[in-house]
Structure 1
Amino acid sequence: MNDNNTFKIGIIGFGPKGFYGFERLVAYLNEAKISKTTEVHIFNNTAFLASGDVYRTDQPDYLIMNYANRNINSWVLKEPFSMASATPDFVTWLTAKGHTDAAQGEYAPRAVVGSYLADCYQLVLEQLPTNIKVITHIGKVTDMIKQNENYQVFYTDRKSGEQDVVACNNILFTTGHHSFKAQKPESVISNHKIDFIYPTDEKLSPVTPQSLVAIKGFGLTAIDAILALTEGRGAIFKKNDKGVLRYISSEKEPYKIYTFSRTGLPMVPRNGSPTSETTLQFFTKEVVQHLKANTPINFNSTLLPLIKKEFYYAFYSVLFNNNGHQFYYDDDFTVMQNQVQYFHEDYPESPVFNWETIVNPFKDEHILSSVVLQVYIGFLIDEAKLGEDKSPFMAAVATWRKISPIFNELYSFGGLDAESHKEFDTYYFGLFNRLSYGPPVKNMQKILALCKAGILDFSYAKSASITPNSENNNFTIQVEKGQATEINYLINATIARAKESGFGNELYQNLSKNGLIREFENTGYIPGCLEINDKGNPISKIGIVNNDITFYGTPTEGITCDNDTLSRTRNDFATNWAKSTTEAIKEKDGRTEDYDRTENVL
């Protein structure tokens, strides 16, 4: 039971987001000069605190970021300032540690980023006031129930396998992708079907050399899986005299790896250069403020035309500049189109902007071949090497990274109409991720080398189906009304997101059953996430806002958009949580008389 002299706080999930919440909490407690004994109970599935599973420090170095060094910073320079004795950004930390890949535009191994995050956590712990006690629980949280003024958190200890319970006054949930992943009993997962690839050394170990493997997905996780089965097994990539990568086998990799996905398309790679300084002209904050007054918004009729114009403007700004011309913005879009028409009359060989060619160049082709995709990947590599300042194509696809934070304001809390919300979740979210948040160029060069070596095969990239063979635990991959191949292993390399209706995770199912959360519904569309207010507090089954509980990061996906794992600013519910938790401690200690914690009913 919880005693009256100690305020107990729970942080469930302690990757980067959990650490960010902890750092803000300590800063606010210090500013408020809280002397009351405060316990912070940290619950995490593994011992990789602050780094979490994504940036765990024991993963191989060939698993690298898709986020350049310059963009990584665990700290926020705002009051109350952190108690840490130092607050180095990632590049400063790399330089101090003597890393050779400390350049701003380099892509570091994810394990190195994990070490940085772990060090940042230690910097906060070293300055912790004596009245703040941190207690770590390594294990899986399965349930939480309210008992009087406390919340009983049930977890299974990872080492002993025993269940224990901790009573907390206040809870922050930062459970990452586990929020949406149904945890199946190990006994029902076949060694021939791998549902989750991390940690790769462990999860992909059943795959035998010279076997046939199918990988569902062609995003960042799929690339990790492909590299783990090749480079991770002793093979090497070596540059020839022309700088082109050549794959040298270790004889321990699969005989063939088949990728398949809905579009069959790879992600657009990036070269690490900073985002261009071209400003948005159509999808501006002023336009958004006007649109917000007229929600819900239809994506296709209202927002997509603005996005297409931004892509168009970025494309031609670079193309004009490459030819010594200036592309002028005009409120009348036809004036800009006339500029383009005159330009193409003077430069008929120049590429022409085409939305469909950019977002889905093989839309009308039912089946893709390895040859076609090899050529396309080669094109993407060449464009990425040019960068946003020289490649009209790269300038266009990079535009979404600028639009995304503004779009989030319109998307969040049911800002889109139900039909648009569903279409964005199921189609456009993946499309824009593929265009704008792709891997480093060197990883796509490895993918091309594997294709040329015959290891990676795109024969089933698009329009493929998988059926299990009950006699031998194998599977058959087949193109609709076309060729088929029996494969030995099926690997799911897609990352779970909120899916329409229902929570897939045991903890969230129990939170719902206990009435602590309810599903968010947007006029008939249920994206599969919980309902929260604009501070991250959940709405209970009977419609009451619970100020004692806050959700932050991936668990809010579907009601917010694109919760960047490392961002300190995107959908920042941690700061408000830290502030309100501090106020709750002061209130319980009798130091505030006017603090209003009245619960709202929705």
Structure 2
Amino acid sequence: MRSHRLAIVGAGPSCTYVLDRLAATAKAAAGPVQLDIHVFDRAGQFGAGQTHSPDQPVTSVLNRIAGQVAFAADESVVGAGPLLPREERPTLHEWCRTRFEETGDPVFDLAAEDSPKRYVHGLALADRFRQYVAMLREVPGVRVHLHHDEVTDLEESPDGGLGVLCGGERVVAADHVLLLTGHSSNTPARHSRQAEWARFAESHPAAFVPSVYPLDRAFAPGQAGPGGTVGCAGMGLTGIDVILHLTEGRGGVFAREPDGTLAYRESGREPDSIVMFSESGLFTFTRPFNAKERDTGKLEHRGVFLTTDAVRRLRRSVGRPVPIGGREQRQLDFRDHVLPVMVLEMALVHYTTLLGGDIGRHLAAAARPTYEAFLADGGRGAPSDESVRRLLAPLEAEVDRAAGTVDAVLSGTLRLADAEEPERGWDAEAVLRRVLEVTFGPEQAGALAARLDDPARLAAAVAAAESPWRHPKSVADRRFSWERLIRPIDRGSFTTPDEYRAAMLDFLDLDHRWAVQGNLANPAKATADGVWRDLRYVIASAVDFAGLHAASHRDFLDVFMRHLNRLVNGSALEVMEKVRALVRHGIVDVSAGPEARVSPDERSGRFVVRGGVTGAVLPVDVLVDARVHPFDAANDIRPLYPNLLGRGLVRTWRNPGADAPDFAPGGLDLTEDFHPVRADGEVDRRITVLGWPSEGVMFFQYGALRPNHNHHIMRDVLCWLRQFWGDEPGAPGHGGPPATTGEHRPAPVPAPPE
């Protein structure tokens, strides 16, 4: 067998997953293995990488529950090849339980549904990395070299391979280079929104922090402390990390009050105020209790209307043909063609959650003819809001009927016996019981259902009952609304900073309650989780490889990616409860509200945040950009990608505008099997790029590996692995399924219907 020389650049989570597959396949090889592996990591954080470092502040919490994080392939991964022994591939939850038994440290005392500290995930990644390296070194002919160095460039080798350069010096020659570089940031001077802020801070007292990671080194000594105000542009996960780092991380303490609320006790080392602002004026929504974890195969939502087949049919009927890379792509408009189908799917999940599966199937059947017509005509050129109304009309007409019946029974004006109409297609009593359970919870619902045969007693009991989740008691007041889902604070409910603060606190309370109810019982959380998370692979099939025309692709990333992150990529319950306590306390200021803007103020030498709707005027001493930088190869703050561009080994990807400007999101031009297209248009199969640099040509290429999920992260690794080992007889993994081609991320294998 020929010798393989592999260089892996970046030793974060993806590298850990790669080493699992290399270890398992090398150990199971039919013959001898000759393999040199060189792993490079700039931070020396092998296994975790800097983003997931075990040394990061203890205040940061993973936005994934412990039971949903894996480190190795399992039986669910189609075509995974040989697997490591079960004890060598624990989930994060299992790893934590073992560590708790060994150490007694309560930080490891987690249930599968708990969200661990982010540094704990880093500890587990580093441990699994060490184990996989040890396994590889036990295989005769395999050598693993770890380099605490930054790879700055690649160059051609005389033997046809690639030289790996660190600081301009060649360190090793490789046959293949696997780039797993993960998140980075962009040079402020070349960053459109940061350049002005950076220039102002250079010549004025105000300070500017262009990127907060690593968080423990984001602020200079004495910066962002007592007597100062920090302004945080961005209210997502990064902004929340900043909040907790500057409060709890400075010695502040959260304590439970007698009334059950969480309160904050200052340490005196915090800034006076942390002004949080963004275009929406909203934090990412609270991640709900994941009730699907008990059986993800059965409980995760499978699309009824939003399917990869629907995307294909829309491409055939209304896709605009554009030549791309020697082939024709039929491009869609996300807002006009895909969003209406997504909204229909969301409405179905909302009403199925609220009214039950029986009526859900009835609603799906009612909506089917109009849906089929839409797939055939793509909306006939109508704007998206008109297409949404068209698709929802048959479904909403049936809900009108159901709402009238249910609300009449609950109000005592209709007897249950008179509500039963067998020809209707759904059972009134079953729907009533479901509404009661969703509204009041199983215990109260059981007591109320006992009164179903007595209209007066039922109406009185419903009127006296309280929903733990603050749900309205009538179906009429709980109709699905896409606008209300993404803009839950009514613009008409506030005009001043204080009014917005009150509205925000009210929503944070409501959102917390809904998250406690979970992603199967709460209509809003079930809708967001079931469509925007469970069906993310369908969204990818619409977006990937210029699936949208250039202007729509830009619109998708600017608008709908923000909706996705806010709806389903939020923080854990305990984290958002702390955020709410800090807003109540007053140290976190949300009064800027929506449409907030920040600008330099020459007179004061500070930045000023102005609320576009609330009219708030909030001077800040330190401005933090807490929005994750998009990958931008040309402007990356690290030297590797600008150098590769300069050599022509890679090029950035462009979505060609047929009748509008091209759209270049910043990521690399890659094939469907993740090889870069060089400046001369040739594909370089010596290099594979996974993860963040592929954002743009592909959608949502990051995230932690999930167990029991046939996860796309591991499928991408396998796509690389099969090509790396090659087809020679006796090669590790030889004889397995072919590398993924064509459809980049196919739908998960569905479970059989119940």
TM-score, normalized by length of structure 2? 0.71
Identify the residue that residue 44 of structure 1 maps to in structure 2.
41
CA distance in 2, matches of 1:5, 1:390: 56
Identify the residue that residue 617 of structure 2 maps to in structure 1.
484
Matched, 1:573 2:716: yes
Give how far 1:446 is off: 0.9
CA contact (8 A) 1:68 1:106 kept: yes
CA contact (8 A) 1:16 1:50 kept: yes
CA distance in 2, matches of 1:412, 1:375: 38
- CA displacement 1:143-162 (0-9 Å, x = unmatched): 22223312122224xxxxx9
CA contact (8 A) 1:367 1:463 kept: no
CA distance in 2, matches of 1:478, 1:110: 33
Secondary structure, counterpart of 2:310 in structure 1: helix
Query: Cα gap change, 1:291/1:201 in structure 2, threshold over 3 Å: closer, same or farther?
Result: same
Matched, 1:9 2:6: yes
Of residues 571-580 and 299-308 in structure 1, the stretch that sits farther from structure 2 once superposed is 571-580
Aligned partner (choices 243, 262, 274) of residue 226 of structure 1:
243
Matched, 1:124 2:127: no
CA contact (8 A) 1:68 1:272 kept: no
CA distance in 1, matches of 2:654, 2:216: 40
Matched, 1:342 2:401: yes
Identify the residue that residue 110 of structure 2 maps to in structure 1.
102
Query: Cα gap change, 1:144/1:360 in structure 2, threshold over 3 Å: closer, same or farther?
Result: same
Identify the residue that residue 486 of structure 2 maps to in structure 1.
359
Question: Which amino acid letter does the alignment assign opposite residue 308 of structure 1?
Answer: V
CA distance in 2, matches of 1:13, 1:93: 23
Give how far 1:437 is off: 1.3
TM-score, normalized by length of structure 1? 0.88
Secondary structure, counterpart of 2:599 in structure 1: strand
CA distance in 1, matches of 2:564, 2:130: 36
Secondary structure, counterpart of 2:726 in structure 1: helix
Give how far 1:449 is off: 0.7
Question: Which amino acid letter does the alignment assign opposite residue 356 of structure 1?
Answer: E
Identify the residue that residue 159 of structure 1 maps to in structure 2.
none
CA contact (8 A) 1:412 1:561 kept: yes
Identify the residue that residue 519 of structure 1 maps to in structure 2.
652
Aligned partner (choices 1, 21, 26) of residue 24 of structure 1:
21
Identify the residue that residue 400 of structure 1 maps to in structure 2.
532
Of residues 203-212 and 102-111 in structure 1, the stretch that sits farther from structure 2 once superposed is 203-212
Give how far 1:108 is off: 0.6
CA distance in 2, matches of 1:500, 1:56: 24
Give how far 1:310 is off: 1.3
Query: Cα gap change, 1:42/1:464 in structure 2, threshold over 3 Å: closer, same or farther?
Result: same
Which of structures 1 and 2 has the bigger CA Rg? 2
Question: Which amino acid letter does the alignment assign opposite residue 386 of structure 1?
Answer: Q
CA distance in 1, matches of 2:490, 2:694: 32
CA distance in 1, matches of 2:304, 2:49: 38
The 5 Å alignment of 1:361-380 reads: 361-362=488-489, 369-380=500-511
Query: Cα gap change, 1:170/1:460 in structure 2, threshold over 3 Å: closer, same or farther?
Result: same
Question: Which amino acid letter does the alignment assign opposite residue 286 of structure 2?
Answer: P
The 5 Å alignment of 1:188-203 reads: 192-203=207-218
Secondary structure, counterpart of 1:329 in structure 2: helix
Query: Cα gap change, 1:477/1:27 in structure 2, threshold over 3 Å: closer, same or farther?
Result: same
Identify the residue that residue 215 of structure 1 maps to in structure 2.
232
Aligned partner (choices 544, 554, 563) of residue 701 of structure 2:
563
CA distance in 2, matches of 1:183, 1:278: 41
CA distance in 1, matches of 2:151, 2:534: 37
CA distance in 2, matches of 1:310, 1:18: 36
Query: Cα gap change, 1:84/1:138 in structure 2, threshold over 3 Å: closer, same or farther?
Result: farther
Aligned partner (choices 507, 512, 515) of residue 381 of structure 1:
512
CA distance in 2, matches of 1:395, 1:467: 39
- CA displacement 1:204-263 (0-9 Å, x = unmatched): 353222311100100011001000000001111111123210111111111111011111
Question: Which amino acid letter does the alignment assign opposite residue 534 of structure 1?
Answer: E
CA contact (8 A) 2:162 2:176 kept: yes
Question: Which amino acid letter does the alignment assign opposite residue 88 of structure 1?
Answer: P
CA contact (8 A) 1:311 1:397 kept: yes
CA contact (8 A) 1:212 1:489 kept: yes
Aligned partner (choices 362, 365, 370) of residue 331 of structure 1:
365
Identify the residue that residue 153 of structure 1 maps to in structure 2.
164
Identify the residue that residue 439 of structure 1 maps to in structure 2.
571
CA contact (8 A) 2:26 2:33 kept: no
CA distance in 1, matches of 2:19, 2:189: 30
Question: Which amino acid letter does the alignment assign opposite residue 55 of structure 2?
Answer: D
CA distance in 2, matches of 1:290, 1:567: 31
CA contact (8 A) 1:84 1:127 kept: no
Identify the residue that residue 443 of structure 2 maps to in structure 1.
none
Identify the residue that residue 748 of structure 2 maps to in structure 1.
none
- CA RMSD in angstroms, aligned pairs only: 3.1
Question: Which amino acid letter does the alignment assign opposite residue 665 of structure 2?
Answer: P
CA contact (8 A) 1:25 1:579 kept: no
Q: Percent identity?
A: 25
Secondary structure, counterpart of 1:140 in structure 2: coil
CA distance in 2, matches of 1:212, 1:258: 7
Give how far 1:583 is off: 2.1
Structure 1 unaligned runs (5+)? 157-161, 597-602
CA distance in 2, matches of 1:581, 1:338: 56
CA distance in 1, matches of 2:140, 2:604: 60
Matched, 1:409 2:515: no
Query: Cα gap change, 1:578/1:330 in structure 2, threshold over 3 Å: closer, same or farther?
Result: closer
Query: Cα gap change, 1:350/1:390 in structure 2, threshold over 3 Å: closer, same or farther?
Result: farther
Give how far 1:33 is off: 4.7
Of residues 404-413 and 276-285 in structure 1, the stretch that sits farther from structure 2 once superposed is 276-285
Identify the residue that residue 56 of structure 1 maps to in structure 2.
53
Secondary structure, counterpart of 1:579 in structure 2: helix
Question: Which amino acid letter does the alignment assign opposite residue 127 of structure 1?
Answer: M
How many residues are treated as equivalent by the alignment?
580
Matched, 1:468 2:590: no
Is the helix fraction higher in 1 or 2? Answer: 2
Query: Cα gap change, 1:130/1:326 in structure 2, threshold over 3 Å: closer, same or farther?
Result: closer
Secondary structure, counterpart of 1:330 in structure 2: helix
